[in-house]
Amino acid sequence: MKIGLAGLPMSGKTTVFNMATRANAQLRDFIAQSEEINTGVIKVPDPRIDYLTSIYKPRKTIYGTIELTDIPGVSKDETGFSRKTLGNIRACDALILVVRLFPDANVPHIRNSVDPARDLEELTLEFILADLEVVEKRVERLSKEMKTGKKPESIREFDLMSRCKEILEGNGMLADVAKNPEEMLLLRTYRFLAQKPIIVVGSCSDDQVKTPGDPMVRKFQEACAARRLPEMLISAKTEMEISSLSPEEETAFLTEFGIGESGRNRLITEAYRTLNYISFLTVGEDEVRAWPIQRGINAVKAAGTVHSDIERGFIRAEIVAYKDFVEKGGMNGAKQAGLARLEGKEYIVEDGDIVHFRFNV
Ligand SMILES: Nc1nc2c(ncn2[C@@H]2O[C@H](COP(=O)(O)OP(=O)(O)OP(=O)(O)O)[C@@H](O)[C@H]2O)c(=O)[nH]1
Ligand SMILES: [Mg+2]
């Protein structure tokens, strides 16, 4: 899954990026015109993988990963993202919008004051306007096509695009516009910005994170709620500074700061929830591995994420739930208790399924 960090210039995106990927990308001291993007990978911590590794002692252990792209908030004329930036945002499966809450006289704000509600609205309106441009062209094109002969696909698409147009014209987002899986598939081909799963990160000072009812925090949370967007507060600068420590030291610092769970872990959990992701697991002496997939994917498609040959030659999936593996003391115990199942192509894979694919090529 590819997640993009987007937001106004100097909102703290690269700070969040460094915190999440433990990287050391260049922060900014002034509003720049550079469109250079940073990419990195977040390893998804998974205690199930830790445990299975301790049992199998494999040569390799591979955790799930999230690919993170840090898209600079450069704007050509100080109003609006450049085409290139919009293109980079469009290419992501989901977005983390970074909105500034932290006060700091040394960090300039492109709108000259800190106002998370205004900034969030500016970002969402930009997405809406960019999509509206696409939708209007498409509606025009389809209505011409329909004059020359009404093909059922054009009618369906015209209907969907007209609904999108109406919602966007009313400044709405497109998260719920698709009425059925076919419309969902059709919509996906457009890569609309207003339809992407979004998490809003409020980039806060240490005090703001710790002060319930802080006015700036309240303003931010109300703005997110009004747009029905999931939000979280992260003291990104502090967390970035301690992300270069060892995991144990990092945990100790987080406790000392009264932060609790790291922003990185909270982002991962929220990303899985927003994108509706789960992980199935594979085990062996060679490799213990987590495979992130979208919830609702069947066994043969899941096989395809491992290898296209396994998808093509799929026979059956042998499945033991992780919980049963632990309760019965391992694979043999689970099998003896009759808890290993043979499932066919259409079986919907569940979170924590330990899967062995049987296939021939
Ligand atoms: N005080 C304070 N400063 C922060 C915080 N987060 C980021 N900054 C500062 O804000 C400035 C911009 O941060 P960046 O992370 O580079 O912002 P950006 O959104 O990546 O900026 P662009 O890439 O230009 O769009 C830097 O000087 C950071 O040190 C924070 O939580 N508190
Ligand atoms: Mg940056």
The CATH number of whichever domain residue 309 belongs to comes to 3.10.20.30
Residue 106 and residue 10 share a domain:
yes
> What's the pLDDT tens digit per position in 228-260?
999 999 999 999 999 888 888 988 988 888 888
Global confidence as pTM: 0.91
> Cβ(10)–Cβ(100) under 8 Å?
yes
282 lies in some domain: no
Q: How far is the CA of 263 from the centre of ligand 1 (A)?
A: 16
> Cβ(321)–Cβ(314) under 8 Å?
no
What DSSP string describes 257-320? HT--S-HHHHHHHHHHHHHTEEEEEE--SSEEEEEEEETT-BHHHHHHHH-HHHHHTEEEEEEE
**Domain end among 188, 205, 231:** 188
Tokens found for residue 313: 């030659």
How do beta strands 38-44 and 64-70 pair? Answer: antiparallel
Residue 104 and residue 13 share a domain:
yes
290 lies in some domain: no
- The enclosing domain of 102 has a CATH number of 3.40.50.300
Q: How far is the CA of 214 from the centre of ligand 2 (A)?
A: 27
- The enclosing domain of 132 has a CATH number of 1.10.150.300
Domain count, the chain: 3
Pocket (CB within 6 angstroms of ligand 1): 7, 9-15, 27-29, 32, 72-73, 102, 104, 107, 203, 205, 236-237
Give yes or no for residue 76 having a pLDDT over 60.
no
User: Which residue segment(s) compose the domain that 340 sits in?
Assistant: 296-359
Nearest CA to ligand 1 atom 16: 27
Residue 142 and residue 76 share a domain:
no
Residue 248 and residue 313 share a domain:
no
Nearest CA to ligand 1 atom 30: 237
10 Å CB burial of residue 260 (0-12, 13-18, 19+) is exposed
Residue 85 and residue 26 share a domain:
yes
Residue 265 and residue 302 share a domain:
no
> What's the pLDDT tens digit per position in 301-342?
999 999 999 999 999 999 999 999 999 999 999 999 999 999
Q: How far is the CA of 194 from the centre of ligand 1 (A)?
A: 25
Residue 258 and residue 333 share a domain:
no
Residue 27 and residue 153 share a domain:
no
Residue 139 and residue 19 share a domain:
no
Give yes or no for residue 77 having a pLDDT over 80.
no
Higher per-residue pLDDT: 245 or 115? 115
Residue 101 and residue 15 share a domain:
yes
Phi, psi of 262 (to 5 degrees): -65, 150
Residue 215 and residue 166 share a domain:
no
